[in-house]
Structure 1
Amino acid sequence: MLCDECKKRNAVVHMSKIVQGKKEELHLCEVCARNKDVSIEKNFTIPNFLANLLDAGMGSGIVKGYDEVLKCNHCGSTFREFKQNGRLGCDECYQIYKEKLKPLVRRIHGNTKHIGKVPKRCGGIIHLRKQLQELKQKLQKAIDQEAFEEAAVLRDEIHRIEEEIRK
């Protein structure tokens, strides 16, 4: 892909931003990126990125002093360590630090719940839960509209899916 600016060299910097709900992309070569004062981090890592976000205050909602006290019972890591290196110690940390991670995830992704498609290979239970949620919404709508026969069918389908999830 060629640089959007000079149209001569290959683009090595790819930037995206959302402006008034529309995605804008800019692809620059190294020379044009430097001319536009876009810093190019050679040793970019996700843990460093997360640690920098937390240092920049994007993890607002995190209570100061609380970081040292809260510790993972499984691996012994603290949230303070996560803030320093951008890495959680183990899979248990996600549950332990769940409430502290929510503001950061919301800031990065815009939400704390996945909304969208799920790959078919991991779809099973996730697909059933999504279907269950949709059926519950339809059930509520049917009840509000006093369509009780439809509501009974939806209720039965909800029970069937709940049983399937429990298996």
Structure 2
Amino acid sequence: MLCDICGQREAVLFVTQTLKGEKKEIHLCAQCAKKRGLNTDGALLAQSLGALVSELDKTQKVCYACGHKLKTILKTGKLGCPECYTAFKDEIENLYQRKGIDLPYTGSMPKKLESFRSTVTDRIAIQDKLEESIKNENYEKAAMYRDFLKVLDKGAVSDGSAETLSMLGVDIDD
């Protein structure tokens, strides 16, 4: 049986803890046990085991939707489903911070979808401008934004980019 911590070496220490009727088993190799200060001194052993169980709980956390384990995600860097982001939110944020990635992280986008992202982003900006124009009672501008949204929804604008918008007389920056 492999060590529950490193998953690489054969386990030589088997610890079973029962707490509030819940039984937890931990299998450790000699190196992982030594790193965590496990020895034969009873008081130190009890203290070390308590810390070890809480450490193991973190790595055995499971996504409620797909059953993917945090340990697997940390090892592979791949999530099991969209709900994993919610289930492991804190752990993912900590991982990003350790890697120096600022949140929110939007990730990379396949080239085929770049124009779609641009279209969606521009549509949201135009919708905001439309609402702002109506709020400020600038109905001529609001009508222009409304008309362009209709064109955009019909797919008449091929790429939806800011250049296309400016060619049609729509300035989303004003």
Question: What TM-score results when the alignment is normalised by the length of structure 2?
Answer: 0.40
Give the number of the structure with larger relative contact order, counting CA–CA contacts within 8 Å between residues 6 or more apart.
Answer: 1
Larger Rg: 2
Question: What TM-score results when the alignment is normalised by the length of structure 1?
Answer: 0.42
